[in-house]
Amino acid sequence: MAVALVILVAGGLTWALWPSGAPAKGQDVAIPVVDGPAGDQHVTIDATFFPPASGGKAPAVLLAHGFGGSKESVRAQAERLADQGYAVLTWSARGFGRSTGEIALNSPDYEVKDVRQLVDWLAKRPEVRLDAGGDPRVGITGGSYGGAIALMAAAYDSRIDAIAPMVTWYDLADALFPDATGRGPVNGVFKKMWAGIFFSTGNGPLSPGLSPGGGLTSGGLGSTGPGSTAGGAGNGPFSSGGGRGDMPPAAQPMTAQQVRCGRFLPAICDMYQTVAETGRATPAAVELLRRSSPVSVQGKIRIPTLLVQGQRDSLFPLGQADANARAIAATGAPVEVAWINGGHDGGDSEPDWAGDRVSDWFDRWLKKKADAPGAGGAAAGSADVAGAASGGAASGGADAGGAGAAAFTVSRDGGRDPGTRRPVIVHATGGGYPGLSGSARTTVAVAGPDQQVANPPGGSPAAISSVPGFGGLLSGVGGNVGVALDIPGQAAAFESAPLPRSTQVTGSPTVQIRVYGTGEATLFAKLYDSSGGALAVLPSSLVAPLRVTATEAGTPVTVTLPAIDRRFDAGHRLRLVVSTTDLGYATPAAPAVYRIGLASPGLTLPADPALDAPATGPAWWTWAMPLAAIVIAAALLLAGRTRLAERGDRGNRGESRTETEPGHDDVPLVITGLGKRYSNGEKAVDGLSFRVEKGQVLGLLGPNGAGKTTTMRMLMGLILPDEGEIRIFGHPVVPGAPVLSRLGSFVEGPGFLPHLTGRANLELYWQATGRPAGDAHLEEALEIAGLGGALDRAVRTYSQGMRQRLAIAQAMLGLPDLLVLDEPTNGLDPPQIAEMRRVLKAYAARGRTVIISSHLLGEVEQTCSHVVVMHRGRLVSAGPVGDLLGATTSGNGSGPRLEDVFLDLIGESR
Amino acid sequence: MTPATKTTGAAAGYAPGRTLPLRVEIVRQFRRRRTIAMFGLLLALPWILVVAFQFGPQSGNQQNALRLSDLATEGGLNFAAFALSVSASFLLVVAVALFCGDTVASEASWSSLRYLLAAPVPRDRLLRQKLIVALGYSAAAVTVLPVMALVAGTLAFGWHDIRVPGTGEVIAAADVLPKFGIVIAYALVSQLVVASLAFLLSVSTDSPLGAVGGAVGLVIVSSILQAVEALGSIREFLPTFWNTAWLDALAPRPDYSGMVKGVALSVTYSAILIALAFRRFRRKDVVS
């Protein structure tokens, strides 16, 4: 056992300390590019190139970083892709990191032109596989800002073969000015907190990464890194905005323009300042934002696209990915959509799973496994290993091999890992992406009277749904649980009856409401999951803002609620809340009162029944291990039994041999060739043979260590002889042999339960034999014990002699045909010894047999009819006491004494 | 002498299948101070906890900190869940290890084992009867604590619906009561590993303390290893890893997958350990 443990520990240490392969080494390069509307602006892009670990020519991946980040924020993902056999180029976008230039929000005139020149650069690298001269095999991936450049570049550069944009936008104008009634960004409600964070991040080093590439940290914006110093130091063109703490202090005072706009292009800066001041989008602003959005290049993206969007994302909600998916799928290009758990609002961004999904995507469309089977297989293998090693909370094991097969994947709450108590995510997959209106719809009636809601002056206090950058603080640990706060008097609530069965919602529910009043109302609709408990849950903390012109007759509007994936349990209620304020949005400062009512009682809930969560059935080992264990257990027991049976066979053969001797059944004890070794190999009993006839009182004599007790233990079936056999009344003795029921024994001291009385001990012992109470002859035995009133005291209060007598009484229970007593007179006083002698003689006179071991020679001489002398495990002499005494004559002429004979026999005569 | 006893050589009225009846073994174990003290403690603990909760100030910020301990005074069911959660990791382990680890080793240390075997009680039967009784006592120990906690909690804090830690959701008491049965059953099964290890040690040593201590020690080592996150999914196969999985049964949306894994692991370990115990005892030289 200890050896096994040592081997286990040593193996574990070796495995743990074995040097792992060195990560791919990146080469820092500065790539000069020319961009601008006129193609006259010179910018130096700071990039890092990771050659493929597999060597040779490999497909390339352009890996873009998130807003506020730099090429450093995607280094880990780049190394991983390089290990999987891609030539990876990461770069800091213009205006970020050590790249020069100004932020133009992924404008076709600036960032897109830069990326085209990066593709040119890749085409010249010897490590990059080419589709044609100057046309490398290349994909782009990235998160948020980096995801948008993937989409934009794909539209403007036909050399790009596949993209995997994550948590990004379709229409930046719509993302910043959403309107749930579908009337576009000009009518939209300004998402002021997110917009502020978005633009201030580009302004200065607020955060090391709004969304660092594919490796969205769950901290998101909430975690301000080492680079977040107050004062916005380092806005100069050569500094590393949002760098890794290596920022030089501002050498010279910044100009007013620098303070105002940071590294933004002035045109964008001006636009932002205008809309942020008024809270309304101007057509010019919408035009500018859309130039940077895939909405402006509809129909131009015709390559395989994997869209990964976050469910906990109030900045770029699922609707943005939905619009991208529809636009790209319309061209006939393959599109797959994955809704991961986390997003810009926190949650679990599942970097391992998303990373695997992206590399599977590129394996499929860039490596086209058929023409690079070796590399592809190796890459997939290492991806699996990486996923398994990272293990833990992020992903359940069931989806390790499933990624890549499904057109639509939704990360769902898989409960908690019972061991770690951490949330587990399961990935439900479907064969097709149904869109936000779902592939099936159900209608649930909600009800409630018309309710007055007030818009507070100044828009404060405001209801809280999600706080950009602090999403993780409001929600529980992971999961889609969001706790939201409504201000009384500002919110109208409409509730459904308890759901008769659990309802899975995947997509955007819709509802029709009516807004009574005057003027333009800004409202926020949200759908709670109310379990009747104190806290209703706002799924993903998402709200749908809408702007509507209220009329006295009531303006009917159809509200598209935020897209979610959530199961509403049976018995829960759906609660529609329409509120006048939300902390994250710009709301009118003027006080007003509106009346909200339902235009139609039906709440339409989309679903996608085709979505199939992977079988969360028990892991294979939950049934295999117990089965295997039971088989092993049975084998252990049967193997043990077989060996015992062999031993029994030997005994049976012996029986058939000796069966020929007539009357053998009546011989109380026959010992033949008995041998037993100690564990050190020394023989305790060696070739012992003797027999005891009925009516004999046999004395077993020998000095300490002669093997008397060992013999008696073998007689009782407590230890197994190594050789030879013992027969009691003709039956071989094995552990638990039924013939032992005719043996009464007292060997090596009494054995009682100390907490029970003497009487209870004897009674329970007899009951343990399972024999009829009447056969016990308890009173006779108790008489021999002679304990009197002490019988009803606990044995632990007994003296040594009392226990001794009780033990002999126990041995005599049932009046056994063979009584074996080891040193029976130890601890008895002389009258008791005399009594005991009389009892034993009388016992044998009734045709029973008594074996006594003793080293008190006088005792044996007076009690026994026969004697067996043992020394060092061997038989020295056996026979009637008289014969033994008669065989030798004493040297001093007096009558022979047993003591002299004994000492003579064992060779230690004086 | 009847024909049957003629062939086996047994005394009249002796039958291996009638030796050491369960009733006898139960009585032999029950009158021990140790048994009575352990049950006394398990029965008293809920009341001690009730008294303890009367002291501290009632926490007012129940909106934020919804831990099981904060919810213990919400009602009898919450209190019972709390009592089980605080005792399952150690107290019940000790109780189970005591009943199963002591059973054979104490007989060996009193020397009464050899007289039982020479009675003769066949070795497999002796072990089987002792195992059944020890498991019975263990089951009683694991059951008696939450049941008494339920009684004490209901008397002290009333019969209310259960509030779930974390989200604070409320589940009707009537719905939870059957689940509570599942929880207790799972707690029983998850202690099976401790029981069978203690039993194996009990068969292997003459020192009751060694057997009990060894089993408790293993639980401690396993709990320590469980805290090492670097072990990753290997930890899932530690015998104590799933011991708290019963909490999932009380969730608003009960999830039994962890409990299934826990049961599988528990059955696996116990089957092998108990088989080893039988095999070992069958071939052992009893020298105590």
| CATH code: domain of residue A846 | 3.40.50.300
Q: For residue B128, what pLDDT is reported?
A: 94
Q: Contact at 8 Å (CB) between A156 and A299?
A: no
Residue A718: its chain B contacts at CB < 8 A?
114, 117-118, 285-287
Residues 747 to 786 of A: which have CB under 8 A from any B CB?
Answer: 747-756, 760, 764-765, 767-772, 775
Are residues A693 and A598 part of one domain? no
| Closest by CA position to A701, among listed A461, A885, A889, A448 | A885
Q: How many domains does chain A have?
A: 3
Q: For residue B138, what pLDDT is reported?
A: 94
Cβ <8 Å between A739 and B9:
yes
Q: For residue A748, what pLDDT is reported?
A: 86
Q: How many domains does chain B have?
A: 1
Which residue(s) pair with B171 in the sheet?
B162
Residue B125: its chain A contacts at CB < 8 A?
736
CA distance B218 to chain A (A): 13
Are residues A583 and A469 part of one domain? yes
- Which whole-number Å values give the CA distances from A370 to A161, A363, A909, in the listed order? 16, 10, 98
Q: For residue A254, what pLDDT is reported?
A: 65
Are residues A586 and A472 part of one domain? yes
The enclosing domain of A53 has a CATH number of 3.40.50.1820
Chain A residue with CA closest to B270: the answer is: A629
Cβ <8 Å between B282 and A816:
no
Cα separation, A844 vs A854, whole angstroms: 17
Q: For residue A431, what pLDDT is reported?
A: 83
Q: For residue A243, what pLDDT is reported?
A: 35
Point out the least confidently predicted range of A398-407, A571-580, A874-883: A398-407
- Which whole-number Å values give the CA distances from B45 to B51, B68, B85, B149, B244, in the listed order? 10, 17, 13, 8, 20
| Buried/exposed code over A718-737 (b: 16+ C-beta within 10 A; e: otherwise) | bbbbeebbbbbbbbbbbbbb
The domain containing residue B220 runs over which residues?
20-51+65-282
Give the confidence band of A20 by pLDDT, cuts at 50, 70, 90: low
Residue B2 placed within a domain:
no
* A872, two tokens: 């060092």
Tens of pLDDT, residues A320-342: 999 999 999 999 889 999 999 88
Residues A790-807, mean pLDDT to the nearest whole number = 90
Q: For residue A248, what pLDDT is reported?
A: 40
Amino acid residing at A275 = V
Of B129 and A827, the one with more pLDDT: B129
Which among B13, B248, B282 has CB closest to A640? Answer: B282
Residues A521-549, mean pLDDT to the nearest whole number = 84
Are residues A679 and A603 part of one domain? no
Q: For residue B117, what pLDDT is reported?
A: 92
Widest pairwise Cα distance in chain A: 144
DSSP string, A287-299: HHHHHTSGGGGTT
Residue B113 placed within a domain:
yes
- Which whole-number Å values give the CA distances from B41 to A46, A262, A656, B47, B267, in the listed order? 71, 70, 59, 10, 28
Of A253 and A180, the one with more pLDDT: A180
Q: Contact at 8 Å (CB) between A626 and A549?
A: no
> pLDDT (tens digit, 0 to 9) for every residue of chain B, 288 residues total?
445 555 777 888 888 888 999 999 999 988 888 899 999 999 999 999 999 888 765 554 444 445 677 778 888 888 998 898 888 888 999 999 999 999 999 999 999 999 999 988 999 999 999 999 999 999 999 999 999 999 999 999 888 888 776 666 677 888 888 888 899 999 999 999 999 999 999 999 889 999 999 999 999 999 888 888 777 778 888 888 888 888 878 776 677 878 888 899 999 999 999 999 999 998 888 887
Whether residue B117 lies within 8 A of chain A, CB to CB, comes out as yes
Q: For residue A628, what pLDDT is reported?
A: 92
Are residues A592 and A467 part of one domain? yes
Cβ <8 Å between B120 and A814:
no
Q: For residue A216, what pLDDT is reported?
A: 38
Are residues A900 and A785 part of one domain? yes
**Mean pLDDT for chain A overall:** 79
Which among B122, B248, B252 has CB closest to A418? Answer: B248
Of A699 and A886, the one with more pLDDT: A699
Residue A16 placed within a domain:
no
Cα separation, A862 vs A874, whole angstroms: 24
Q: For residue A373, what pLDDT is reported?
A: 35
User: Which of these three, A390, A407, A431, is where a domain ends?
Assistant: A390
Q: For residue B151, what pLDDT is reported?
A: 93
The domain containing residue A144 runs over which residues?
27-185+287-390
Cβ <8 Å between A730 and B115:
no
Length of chain A: 910
Residue B189 placed within a domain:
yes
Q: For residue A659, what pLDDT is reported?
A: 40
Q: For residue A482, what pLDDT is reported?
A: 54
Percent above pLDDT 90 for chain A: 22
CA distance A853 to chain B (A): 17
Q: For residue A6, what pLDDT is reported?
A: 67
Residues 242 to 281 of B: which have CB under 8 A from any A CB?
Answer: 242, 244-245, 247-248, 251-253, 255, 257-265, 267-269, 271-272, 274-276, 278-279
Are residues A181 and A67 part of one domain? yes
Residue B255: its chain A contacts at CB < 8 A?
415-416, 418
Are residues A347 and A455 part of one domain? no
ipTM over 0.85: yes
Of A863 and A206, the one with more pLDDT: A863
Is the pLDDT at A857 greater than 90? The verdict is no
Of A375 and A178, the one with more pLDDT: A178
Point out the least confidently predicted range of A4-8, A694-698, A812-816, A886-890: A886-890
Give the confidence band of A396 by pLDDT, cuts at 50, 70, 90: very low
Whether residue B166 lies within 8 A of chain A, CB to CB, comes out as yes
Highest mean pLDDT among A348-362, A421-435, A651-665: A348-362
Edge-first strand order for the sheet with A669-677 is A683-692, A669-677, A723-728, A731-732
Cβ <8 Å between A775 and B253:
no
Which among A569, A619, A741 has CB closest to B14? Answer: A741
Helix H segments across A586-728? 620-658, 708-715
Is the pLDDT at A87 greater than 50? The verdict is yes
- Which whole-number Å values give the CA distances from A387 to A75, A384, A393, A896, in the listed order? 18, 5, 11, 91
Residues A85-104, mean pLDDT to the nearest whole number = 89
Inter-chain Cβ pairs, chain A and chain B, closer than 8 A: 242
Cβ <8 Å between B11 and A817:
yes
Give the confidence band of A800 by pLDDT, cuts at 50, 70, 90: confident
Cα separation, A356 vs A365, whole angstroms: 14
Number of Cα atoms under 13 Å in the Cβ half of residue A809: 25
Q: For residue A241, what pLDDT is reported?
A: 35
Residue A829 placed within a domain:
yes
Give the confidence band of A475 by pLDDT, cuts at 50, 70, 90: very low
Percent above pLDDT 70 for chain A: 80
Q: How far apart are the first and last CA of chain B?
A: 34
Residue B80 placed within a domain:
yes
